[in-house]
Amino acid sequence: MENVSNVNKLESIKSFQSTISKSEKALAHMTQKGANTTLLKKRLKALYIGLAMLENIWNQRPHYYTLEDLAEARNVLTGLFPSIENIYAKSKADSPQRTLLERRIKALELAVQAIDDLSKSHM
């Protein structure tokens, strides 16, 4: 994790913040409509944890998540890869959407790596 450029760090944190914001808006909309929000709440928690792990490693911000929380978040975050990669494969080269997806994939990979590193250090 040490060899991540400052640009990648900033882009990854912004990507998480953007994804969290979009998810929070979707949750509010779904709640208002009375839709089932269980999956979205689970994903949102995993996104919060992913962001917290990056900020913990890069900005020395404390986190208060258990190893169980980290393991669950890791599973949820890795579960997002197939759908994001599928959308990425369908996106046009050099499109803003593709750039956003590349950053999101990189951010998720870094968060999973941070969770793995933190989990190993607690063993």
43 in Cβ contact with 20 (< 8 Å): no
Residue-number span of the structural domain to which 96 is assigned? 6-121
With CA atoms as reference, report the closest residue to 104 among 14, 7, 3, 5: 14
Say how far apart CA 95 and CA 99 lie, in whole Å: 7
Distance of CA 51 to the CA centre of its chain: 6
Number of domains in the chain: 1
pLDDT at 2: 67
Is there a domain that residue 106 lies in? yes
Phi, psi of 80 (to 5 degrees): -80, -20
pTM of the model: 0.93
Is there a domain that residue 1 lies in? no
- Mean pLDDT across the chain, nearest whole number? 94
DSSP reduced 3-state for 2: coil
pLDDT tens-digit profile of 53-109? 999 999 999 999 999 999 999 999 999 999 999 999 999 999 999 999 999 999 999
Count Cβ atoms below 10 Å from residue 104 Cβ, excluding itself: 21
